[in-house]
């Protein structure tokens, strides 16, 4: 909590990464990034790519597919067995960028799997799948209305968007507990911190 670690690779070809011809990087590993006060280079490191979970492009001329806030979800412990998927689980949430300009935000949150209302078309494995998409109903998809923690834990109802339920009204419903905003910058340049959100 409260600490961001960043791996900075050298310039590389995205095409080489996508085709699987590029599987490792050597770069700098630091405590924090340009938008955090504690940026300290800790060491040189090697990042090995074993699986590309998500590849998503930010298109300058694209229009937003979501009017409400969408987030990719990644379990903090992806090695858990299906039998242990119960109770409170930790996730990282990444705002799904869709058009330019947009915002790049990383959150740390929890979901109590026992309290989710499962769609008959989904399973708990859909909730905990790396790259699952959650949408915040009745929200505004912009940087000023993004999810953020407050002085007390924020409870946010979300719906799971799976291939099976995307065009139906039978969505799995869960509640997020927003613990911290790890990182937030404005895209496409990604060198400006996100502005403060508006008060609810």
Same domain, 42 and 95: no
Same domain, 35 and 83: no
Residues 96-126 pLDDT 10s: 988 777 899 999 999 999 999 999 999 999 9
Same domain, 32 and 119: no
Domain count, the chain: 2
Residues 118-161 pLDDT 10s: 999 999 999 999 999 999 999 999 999 999 987 555 688 899 99
Same domain, 170 and 81: yes
DSSP string for the chain: ----EEEEPPP--HHHHHHTS--EEEEEEEES-TTSTT-EEEEEEEEE-S--------BTTPPPS-SS-EEEEEES-TT--GGG--SEEEEEEEE---BSSEEEEEEEEEEEGGG-B--TT--HHHHSSTTEEEE-TT---SGGG-----SSPEEEEEEEE-TTTTTSS---EEEEEEEEEEEEEEETT--EEPPPPPP-
Same domain, 110 and 186: yes
Same domain, 138 and 172: yes
Domain around 43: 5-48
Same domain, 43 and 77: no
pTM of the prediction?
A: 0.85
Same domain, 32 and 94: no
């Amino acid at each position: 909590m409260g600490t961001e670690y960043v791996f900075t690779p050298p310039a590389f070809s995205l095409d080489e990464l996508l085709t699987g011809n590029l599987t490792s990087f050597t770069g700098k590993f630091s405590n924090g990034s340009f938008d955090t006060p504690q940026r300290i280079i800790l060491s040189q490191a090697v990042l090995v790519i074993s699986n590309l979970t998500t590849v998503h492009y930010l298109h300058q001329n694209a229009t937003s597919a979501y009017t409400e806030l969408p987030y990719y979800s990644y379990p903090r412990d992806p090695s858990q067995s299906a039998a242990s998927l119960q109770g409170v689980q930790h996730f990282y949430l990444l705002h799904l960028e869709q058009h330019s300009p947009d915002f790049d935000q990383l959150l740390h949150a929890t979901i109590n799997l026992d309290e989710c209302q499962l769609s008959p078309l989904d399973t708990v494995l859909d909730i905990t799948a790396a790259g699952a998409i959650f949408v915040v109903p009745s929200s505004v998809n912009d940087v000023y209305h993004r999810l953020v923690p407050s002085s007390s834990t924020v409870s946010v109802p979300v719906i799971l968007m799976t291939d099976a339920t995307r065009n139906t009204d039978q969505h799995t419903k869960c509640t997020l507990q927003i613990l911290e905003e790890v990182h937030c910058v404005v895209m496409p340049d990604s060198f400006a911190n996100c502005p403060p959100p508006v008060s609810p």
